A and B are shown apart, each in its own frame.
Chain A
Amino acid sequence: MRLRTFILLRLLLTIPMILILITVVFSIMRILPGDPVLAVIGSRNASEQQIEALRHQLGLDKPLYLQYLGYIGGLFRGDFGYSMVRLDPVTTELAIALPATIELTFWSMLLAIPLGIYSGVVAAKHVGGKIDASIRIGSLVRWCVPVFWFGLVLQILVVQYGLPFPIAGQASSRMIGVPDVTGLYVVDAVLGRNPQALADAFLHLLLPVLTLGTTMAASITQIARTNIIGVLGEDYIKVASLKGCTDERVFQKHALPNALIPILTYTGLQVAVLLQGAILTETVFSWPGLGRLLIVAVGYRDFNLIQGCVIFFALVVSVANLIVDISYAMVDPRVRL
């Protein structure tokens, strides 16, 4: 079929998928034992009437299907509902937390992709040798290290050796005067022409990015290595060599570009892993992003906030998968069938 049709069909398929997901999450939330109003009240002493009044005001005493319809209807208007814990719209909470997660994941992938591909390349070029073996073992072991433990170990090292790196948070408390334009601290510091804030933002990013970035790099290394080795064994490489090209040119002009596509598409499919890693990394470093927001929301049974976060994560993964599928379809016509 034609590319356009394929893209359209894939897009259309995504919508029911997301809808199913929302319904499933919605139902899970309602089945969850525990009462969100009481969870918010926690250890405080409030009277029964007040609790009932709160429940009514939050719309939790309406029949389930009405709550569901109201929620779906709201979604189409861009209204993700009201967060019971924070008492403001879920979209506000998501908007506050999103830039922090974007900042973390962006810089982590900025580290992971070049690091992973470079290691994979080096390993592939020395395949079977000691360098290859050490890179393979290194990335394998790193892959087996849980992302949250790695972060903890970095914190331990900083504390034990008295290194002057911040081990938690996104910025120091003295950085209060920086204007909040995008929510991305690095960008805002640049926009605000505040070199101190910029330095502060980078320092706070250092450990979390090292943690999440090396975690992602471990799997990218393995895939890069496998793909490049595979490509190097192809016939057209042999032809190029026979033609008289130097090894370098063969590599750069023929092998690498061909290998890059599957590597990058694989990376696209790793978005789910990236988000999982982000949740755990944010918890370790008290990073105020979506992952931590989700954990807090689950603890309070804040239905709307949980649903908002989950939908958001699912959307990101779906979009990433969509892009991957479409790029495959563009490159390989056979896939479109």
Chain B
Amino acid sequence: MWPKSSRSMVIAGTVIIVVVLALDAYTHIVGLNPFATSYQVLSPPSFAHVMGTDQIGRDIFSRVSFGTTFSLLVAFVSVIISVGVGSVTGAFSGFFGGKIDRVTSLAFDALYALPPLIIAILIAAMIGPGIVNTGLAIGIGYMPQYFRVVRGIILSIKERPFIESTRAIGAGYGTLIFHHMIPYAIPSIIALMTLNMGSGIVDVAGLGFLGLGLPPPTPEWGTDLGRGRDFITSGAWWPSTFPGLMIVMSVLGFTLLGQGLDEVFRSASTKQKEKF
């Protein structure tokens, strides 16, 4: 049914994500505390502290696993925002066409000209840190992608006979767009969303690294590894290494899943086309 390589990608991706979440759940169940300071400052990985301690004696393993929640949550918020706004405006813009379409396309093109990180930096500086705030800052930069994809799909099916006939029997615009047209876009959107979860996680970490992320003492991967920079020259490599590994793992999970889904949907649609 599914091509072999994409099947293994989907499976691999899902497994990795599950492992990451399980690690996070483990720390909550066992009751580890990512905020507890101690006099064991900057101690290397050991049995007591598997990933070592940071500059005020906090256990890095607890912080890294706890950080999963925040990173994934903010990435999720950013994806929801960009999908929500981008897709809906793309659908309406593509459907109605004309001047509205040209203006909206221009606006989103302008947005597209700015690298998403810069947009995120400006907005994060403007509205300050917080789960929703940071999610919004990141999400805005990705809206143009969904806009384009959905608009493209809407444009391509707009002229199809079944749309005209549905209009003819009196369906309203809302029903037409949401019930009949957007479903065609869903496969592409889902793959894109999953991939953007990965980008979202990296962006959250990037903002944290630059000091614009979730406020201290929140355990966040990017912030922690950014702070760890100061100690590299003193020989403490663990504060920066482990959060980074977690980032790579979780992004890898979502990317594998996303690319796998993308391949699956693409082969499914070619098969669909072949039927005609």
Q: Residues on A close to B: CB < 8 A?
A: 13, 16-18, 20-21, 24-25, 28, 31-33, 140-141, 143-146, 148-149, 152-153, 155-156, 159-160, 272-273, 275-276, 279-280, 283-284, 294-295, 298, 306, 310, 313-314, 317-318, 321
* Given contact pairs A28-B123, A141-B252, A294-B121, A159 touches B235 in the complex (Cβ within 8 A): yes
Min CB gap B137→A, angstroms: 11
Residues of B within 8 A of A140 (CB): 252, 255-256, 259
Q: A280 vs B116: C-alpha distance in the bound complex, in angstroms? A: 13
A17 touches B252 (CB 8 A): no
B114 touches A283 (CB 8 A): no
A33 touches B126 (CB 8 A): yes
Q: A34 vs B220: C-alpha distance in the bound complex, in angstroms? A: 25
Residue of A13, A144, A145, A310 with most chain B CB atoms under a 10 A cut-off: A144
CB-contact partner of A143 in B114, B229, B255, under 8 A: B255
- Listed by A's residue number, 5 A-B pairs whose Cβ atoms lie within 8 Å are A20-B106, A140-B252, A152-B225, A276-B115, A298-B125
- Residue interface mask B190-212, A partner, CB < 8 A = 1: 00000000100010011001100
A276 touches B125 (CB 8 A): no
- Residue interface mask B106-117, A partner, CB < 8 A = 1: 110110011111
* Given contact pairs A24-B110, A313-B118, A314-B113, A144 touches B209 in the complex (Cβ within 8 A): no
CB-contact partner of B229 in A21, A31, A152, under 8 A: A152
Please tell me the size bucket of the interface on B: 35 or more
Residues of A within 8 A of B237 (CB): 156, 159-160
Min CB gap B10→A, angstroms: 14
CB-nearest residue of chain A relative to B125? A298
A156 touches B114 (CB 8 A): no
CB-contact partner of A276 in B116, B225, B232, under 8 A: B116
A156 touches B256 (CB 8 A): no
Closest 4 CB pairs of A and B: A149-B244, A272-B115, A144-B251, A276-B117
A146 touches B115 (CB 8 A): no
B117 touches A146 (CB 8 A): no
Q: A140 vs B8: C-alpha distance in the bound complex, in angstroms? A: 14
A146 touches B106 (CB 8 A): no
Q: A148 vs B113: C-alpha distance in the bound complex, in angstroms? A: 22
Residues of A within 8 A of B107 (CB): 20
CB-nearest residue of chain A relative to B245? A149
B233 close to A (CB within 8 Å): yes
Q: A13 vs B202: C-alpha distance in the bound complex, in angstroms? A: 32
CB-contact partner of B210 in A18, A24, A143, A295, under 8 A: A295
CB-nearest residue of chain A relative to B198? A144
B240 touches A298 (CB 8 A): no
- Residue interface mask B254-273, A partner, CB < 8 A = 1: 01100100000000000000
Residues of A within 8 A of B209 (CB): 148, 280, 283
Residues of A within 8 A of B109 (CB): 17
CB-contact partner of A145 in B123, B240, B248, under 8 A: B248
A314 touches B114 (CB 8 A): yes
Residues of A within 8 A of B235 (CB): 159-160
B27 close to A (CB within 8 Å): no
Known: A148-B206, A276-B115. 15 other contacts (CB 8 A): A21-B113, A24-B110, A28-B123, A144-B255, A145-B247, A148-B205, A149-B244, A152-B244, A156-B241, A159-B235, A272-B116, A275-B115, A317-B113, A317-B114, A321-B113
Residues of B within 8 A of A313 (CB): 114-115, 118
Q: A32 vs B115: C-alpha distance in the bound complex, in angstroms? A: 20
Residues of B within 8 A of A143 (CB): 255
Min CB gap A109→B, angstroms: 16
Residues of B within 8 A of A310 (CB): 114, 118, 122
